[in-house]
Amino acid sequence: MFRLDNKTAVITGGGSGIGKAIALLFSRRGADVYIIDMNEEGGKAVAHEIIEAGGIGVFKKCNVAIQAEVKNVVHSIERDAGAIHILVNNAGIAHVGNLEKTSEDDFNRITEVNVKGVYNCLHEIVPVMKKTGGVIVNMASVASAVGIPDRFAYSMSKGAVIGMTLSVAKDYIKEGIRCNSISPGRVHTPFVDGFIAKNYPGQEKEMFEKLSKTQPIGRMAEPDEIANLALYLCSDEAAFVTGCDYPIDGGFIKLNT
């Protein structure tokens, strides 16, 4: 079950965190994995790890916010692989601040990556998928469903991701393309560790425990747990699933509201 043999998967933001976990798991399950990331060191390291384990892993440096770059990368992947069967739109950035503390530059920066970046990858890869069918997973967030303090721009962007997910699922169902989204709660990634170290120096352990306890289950998710859900949604076992958002949040949405 949950095999991805003979599938080509494109994973944005695959050089670290959740994207890295997805890339490694998809490779172990038989997919040829193409990692799109701005982080050249991280992206190459993940691709190398896949190759060392006997899989096919390719890194492509690309800024998903620039459509011309995405177009060129997608063209090269289709040329080399022959098809694209899976897209995981995982690349994203964060911003801390309420409406008044969100400058125009902050708003535009979030929109460029979290909204336009997803649009760009969908815009270039969906026409390729129409030839063979395919599966798309977009990374949203619990912030798209509930109010989270000081996450104005981030919440806005993830709400847009769910809107795009539903639209693509509806418009391309007859072309054999499924599209779903995942809404994680807090996940323990290098980003979280860096955020705590930067904003709470000397209080890292205390703040980590405080953030962990905001999930009713009492801890943050691990990247592998998000990857497992992405694997299911991209596998043939989920062939009847499209147009859905899947919270994976330790009870955050339902048990905190």
Asked whether the beta carbons of 175 and 133 are under 8 A apart, the reply is yes
Tokens of 207: 């703040």
Residue 15 phi, psi (nearest 5): -85, -5
Active site residues: 154
130 vs 86, 92, 149, 175, CA distance in Å? 12, 25, 40, 6
Judged by phi (left if over 0) then psi (alpha if -120 to 50, else beta), residue 123 lies in alpha
> How far is it, in rounded angstroms, from Cα 142 to Cα 127?
29
Tokens at residue 87, please?
């897209």
Q: Which residue has the tokens 């997973």?
A: 137
CA 177, CA 191: separation in Å to the nearest integer? 32
Strand partners, 34: 10, 58
Please name which of 186, 190, 234, 198 lies closest in space to residue 29, comparing C-alpha atoms. 234
